[in-house]
Amino acid sequence: MKITKSFVDKVELPPLDENGKQAQVFYRDEALRGFALRVTSGGSKSFIVEKRIDGKVKRKTLGKYGQITAEQARKLAQNFLGEVAFGRNPIAEKNDKKAKNITLEQSFNDYIRARKDLKASTEKEYRRQLNSSFGDWKNKPLVSISKNMVEKRHSELGAKGEANANGAMRVLRAIFNHAINKYEDSNGQPIIQINPVARLSHNRAWYPTKRRQTIIRPHELNAWYKATLQLNQPVTRAYLHFVLLTGLRLTEAAQLRWQDVDIKGLSFTIPDTKNNRPHTLPITEAIYDTLKILKANKRNEWVFPSPLHDSHLKEPRTAVKRVCDLSGIKFTIHDLRRTFITIAESLDISAYALKRLLNHKDPNDVTAGYIISDIERLREPMDRISTTICKHLNSVNV
């Protein structure tokens, strides 16, 4: 048959298949080989063209009936077949063009979908960097972002904040690394050949990282502790003590749930950690006393509930500032973790026990894989650390 308006109007829809799913039927034009009409049981009628290219049959949808006419579809099919006859591959060319026009934002979204292990907080930070540092680049094709552009933007960001500039470029580098391996042309060659952020390493343009080393020194802990006792929020006060006594990271401690606390077994578990490895620690006497008070005033599932909403405590910046003002000791929440580590190291805690207590994972340390540090083996070093901290606080019961 010849595919005409009359034929398309009259063609019947195929019935559903034996499983009740939509079926499709192809009607091929007798005058123009490769031109066809595809009809589905759902009522869709589309024009297509088929042609063997490089040994494989390629099919291209020309358009739906109603959006284009049968004659318009025939002309499109003739143009397509003509291009193939002259040695071109219109489908591959279209796909290559589409790949080369992938924007920074599209690539970012592909990267996020591919990173199944990415934490929500990390994704949020990456999106912030995309919007704040590269907002004017989001709709630019990746191939148009050059090494010179990257170098200039890094310098511009660095004038406002060196750490943020480095962080933004690490995000951009990750996006490009993912794109290099994901987007290919019809010949299997990468659309993105180089990572432009590599210019920073080549020119040694990264800003030097100044790692914070501040702690609360032992002789300052008593004044710090007395200041925390003056806080009006008992949950916030207990939270600060808990972080100091456990060495946990800010968010890991704040997100602790009662279901992960085993009072009878004297242990607790942080299931969601920075390195994605559950972290179980023993409960010492001082930690037990803190948890017992919180348990008696339990409001919801969180050990440290927020005073403002039905969730866990957020970073208590107001409370930290209050303690700083009262004690005269400047500190951050992470300084409490560093203080825990410093005291632990002063007690000659074994390196493997210390790693386990801090939930540090070194993929290059094969020896650690053969040493099993269960909860009971950590109890003795944890007790020693807790006792020493409490002595400095000048109070056994924290």
Contact 148, 197 (CB under 8 A): no
Confidence (pLDDT) at 368: 47
Better pLDDT: 118 or 126: 126
Q: What is the pLDDT of residue 93?
A: 66
pLDDT exceeds cutoff 70 at 273: yes
* 229/184 same-domain check: no
Tell me: do 226 and 333 sit in the same domain: yes
In a domain, 337, yes or no: yes
> Is residue 114 included in any domain, yes or no?
yes
174, 202, 230: which is the final residue of a domain?
A: 202
- Provide the number of structural domains found in the chain: 3
End-of-domain residue from the set 88, 114, 135: 88
Highest mean predicted confidence (pLDDT) among 10-19, 50-59, 153-162, 212-221: 153-162
360-371 per-position pLDDT tens digit: 765 555 444 444
Tens of pLDDT, residues 3-42: 999 999 899 888 888 888 889 999 999 889 889 999 998 8
| For residue 133, pLDDT beyond 70 | yes
Residue 99 belongs to some domain of the structure: no
Whether 150 is covered by a domain: the verdict is yes
Q: Is residue 38 part of a domain?
A: yes
Sorting pLDDT into bands at 50, 70 and 90, what band is 209? confident
Residues 37, 159: one domain? no
Mean pLDDT across the stretch 230-258?
A: 94
Could you say which of 169, 202, 235 is where a domain stops?
202
Decide if 304 contacts 257 (C-beta within 8 A).
Answer: no
Give the CATH number of the domain where residue 164 resides: 1.10.150
- Tell me, what's the pLDDT at 162? 92
pLDDT at 186: 63
Q: What digits encode the pLDDT tens for the residues 51-94?
A: 887 777 888 889 999 999 999 999 998 888 888 777 777 766 67
DSSP letter at 66 equals T
Mean pLDDT over each residue of the chain, to the nearest integer: 88
Asked if residue 325 belongs to a domain, the reply is: yes
Contact 354, 368 (CB under 8 A): no
Average pLDDT over residues 237-261: 95
Residue 381 has what pLDDT? 94
Are 170 and 262 in a shared domain?
no
Same domain, 29 and 143: no
Q: Is 358 in the same domain as 278?
A: yes
Sole residue written with tokens 């009878």 = 264
Looking at residue 103, its pLDDT comes to 92
Query: 225 and 268: one domain?
Result: yes
**CA 125 to CA 167: how far, in whole Å?**
10
How confident is the model at residue 258, as a pLDDT? 96
C-alpha span between 41 and 44 (Å, rounded):
7
pLDDT at 396: 43
Give 91-112 pLDDT, tens digit per residue.
666 766 776 788 999 999 999 9
Secondary structure letter of residue 197 according to DSSP: T
Higher-scoring residue by pLDDT: 55, 268: 268
| Residue 370, pLDDT score | 41
Are 12 and 138 in a shared domain? no
Looking up residue 68, the CATH number of its domain turns out to be 3.30.160.390
- pLDDT for residue 372: 44
Q: What is the mean pLDDT of residues 378-398?
A: 84
CATH number at residue 367: 1.10.443.10
Average pLDDT over residues 137-145: 93
Reported for 42-49, long-range contacts at CB under 8 A and 24+ positions apart, including other chains, are 42/13, 43/13, 45/8, 45/11, 47/3, 47/73, 47/76, 47/77, 49/76, 49/77, 49/80, 49/81
- Cα–Cα distance measured from residue 312 to residue 255, given in angstroms and rounded to the nearest whole number: 6
Asked if residue 82 is part of any domain, the answer here is yes
Check whether residue 75 and residue 120 sit in a common domain.
no
pLDDT of residue 384: 95
List the alpha helices (DSSP H) in 60-100: 70-85, 90-100
- Both 245 and 383 in one domain: the answer is yes
CB 3 within 8 A of CB 36: yes
- Domain annotation covers residue 164: yes
What's the confidence (pLDDT) of residue 398? 45
The residue range of the domain holding 188 is 104-202
- In a shared domain, residues 80 and 112: no
pLDDT at residue number 187: 66
pLDDT of residue 299: 87
> Do 29 and 122 have their domain in common?
no
Task: Write the DSSP assignment of 249-296 as a string of letters.
Answer: -HHHHHT-BGGGEETTTTEEEESS-TTS--EEEE--HHHHHHHHHHHH
Task: With cut-offs at 50, 70 and 90, classify the pLDDT of residue 395.
Answer: low
Quick one: average pLDDT of 375-384?
91
pLDDT given at position 351: 84
